[in-house]
Structure 1
């Protein structure tokens, strides 16, 4: 039996319970994953379809979530366009030759998914044809977030270099947005054609921009990306962290689900005119609290979700290593039971 509750909720259709999955549910806190990581790095895992599929389906088997999310990183497609990126333990993605000028942007190539990332497509096919009884979520980073790593050279707390590039070299910035936008479209299409049942776009760090700058420098490319993907017939989700002030602009885009972090309640989102399915939004830190507190916060989110249209339960950001897998298992069961529709 295929569980399509998540897909129905994405489309705003009635479901018998509120579906649940967790960002970064594959890996991080699971002991089986940690054992694998003793031997392999992230990119090494993603290059082995059988192993990558195993990591992807682990949370479905352990937590009984309503969707799987493909185990990979938002950096995965960048080497294909000429960006030399390394995932360094304790730091994150590191790029030794950051983009500094329009000349650097012009040198970027194009992605050919079948040739450049066949292992990702093979993993998706393996999962969706043989291993999963729930939808598989594929994903991509959004142009701003990808650009921030490419310009900063790695993670940043303030994105000063990215903003300076954006303001001082607008021609280079918009060319970079176009090139990354083209890459995202091709990358996402390949995941869908391989079998992904939904796509989430992570604009993880775009919350660093104000609304005016977002509308000027980012929203046009996001509109183009989603417009070009609209005929692919799968749901699309938008998510960022610290980006509640942009949620209304995301609601305007041709997508299906607006992701919320814990800084904006579902009730507030609805009051601000967000009328699409919402996804969120338990603060992941709450997972370290006593169960009674977790349950109280979760009930509030679910109650608001049930009163205000379609929703998908998730965290406001990803699972982190200190989280006990048993807590996620218990939380999943609670969400599904508490939100069950009694005919």
Structure 2
């Protein structure tokens, strides 16, 4: 494998010196790009795109052709694991993901297999290998998974939810059933992420999209406990390099100290927390990723630059910052605004690293 031409992202996650603050965007390969829409149309539908390693590689690389991003992220979906467990994933137009066979009781949980990542999820590993080859060492490749709690919300609710009443009913009425499900998911995610690392992912991220729907006590018991188990089970060295792991809980700003104590290398921050306060709380233990409001990309480029400067100043001098949005880029953002954002991070961050 060729060595990395640009390793800023990996260095920043390990709090090592960099020349400028590295930047990438959650959902950077996606619907805001006309070339993505064309490739998705060619694939036929979203999951067909995910399951085609060549097309998944193509959409992973598309944003890197437009912007000077410091990392590529595998194009896939967090629901690949529950899909491989046989729940019958499909996408309803305008409604998002749905499962034909939701998990509603202990019998359903007992029936779930732990997928073999090179068999049932082999298309993801083939995509990782293809992307890694095509990147040719230009930038690192990020692999990822949903957190057990977030995956469980979709599996138990049967799809997207606003109130999470079905899974919370399980949490409070049958907690032992939910723990069995979460434990099985944690084991599956450990296998899945380790397979991504062996296939070529140089860093991994765990997306806990719905952890913020829990109380503090329930978050620790039903979400963080299982992410900690995953962190403990991951390959942390591969190809003679450290493989950094980032945890991201949307709405999790109040639990960052507990997240940092898992042994992860970095924490993703949403836009509701002040990065200067977070750095004061946990900054010497972990790197920080974030955390501009994705809606800021609707603003004129001059306003975007101003916001970038504000966040860079809030983080302050030194290492351990990966610039990102506080969640995924919105599908109707003008692509040139994303370009202004990436350029501003590199241009304005240089003085913070001298």
TM-score scaled by structure 1? 0.96
Match of 1:206 in 2: 211
CA distance in 2, matches of 1:80, 1:273: 36
Q: CA deviation at 1:103?
A: 0.8
* 296 and 26 in structure 1: CA distance in 2 versus 1, 3 angstrom threshold: same
Match of 2:91 in 1: 87
Match of 1:2 in 2: 5
Match of 2:345 in 1: 335
Matched positions, count: 343
Q: Matched residue of 2:48: which SS?
A: helix
Q: Matched residue of 1:216: which SS?
A: helix
CA distance in 2, matches of 1:318, 1:139: 14
1:14 to 12, 17, 21: 17
Match of 1:310 in 2: 320
Q: What stretches of structure 2 of length at least 5 have no aligned partner?
A: none
Match of 1:286 in 2: 296
Q: CA deviation at 1:274?
A: 4.4
> Does the Cα contact within 8 Å between 1:207 and 1:243 map onto a contact in 2?
yes
> Does the Cα contact within 8 Å between 1:42 and 1:72 map onto a contact in 2?
no
Is 1:74 the counterpart of 2:83? The answer is no
2:121 to 117, 122, 128: 117
Match of 2:224 in 1: 219
> Does the Cα contact within 8 Å between 1:251 and 1:274 map onto a contact in 2?
no
1:57 to 55, 58, 61: 61
Match of 2:255 in 1: 246
1:267 to 262, 276, 290: 276
Q: CA deviation at 1:308?
A: 6.4
> Does the Cα contact within 8 Å between 1:230 and 1:254 map onto a contact in 2?
no
CA distance in 2, matches of 1:281, 1:108: 36
Q: Matched residue of 1:122: which SS?
A: helix
Q: CA deviation at 1:134?
A: 0.4
Q: Matched residue of 1:139: which SS?
A: strand
Q: Matched residue of 2:288: which SS?
A: strand
Q: Matched residue of 1:293: which SS?
A: helix
Q: CA deviation at 1:6?
A: 0.2
User: Bigger CA drift: 260-269 or 116-125?
Assistant: 116-125
Is 1:47 the counterpart of 2:65? The answer is no
> Does the Cα contact within 8 Å between 1:22 and 1:319 map onto a contact in 2?
yes
Query: What's the C-alpha RMSD, in Å, of the aligned pairs?
Result: 1.5
1:28 to 22, 31, 40: 31
User: Bigger CA drift: 4-13 or 229-238?
Assistant: 229-238
Is 1:155 the counterpart of 2:165? The answer is no
Q: Matched residue of 1:321: which SS?
A: coil
TM-score scaled by structure 2? 0.93
CA distance in 2, matches of 1:69, 1:230: 18
User: Bigger CA drift: 227-236 or 252-261?
Assistant: 227-236
Is 1:96 the counterpart of 2:70? The answer is no
> Does the Cα contact within 8 Å between 2:39 and 2:59 map onto a contact in 1?
no
Match of 2:132 in 1: 128
Q: CA deviation at 1:216?
A: 2.1
* 52 and 273 in structure 1: CA distance in 2 versus 1, 3 angstrom threshold: closer
Match of 1:181 in 2: 186
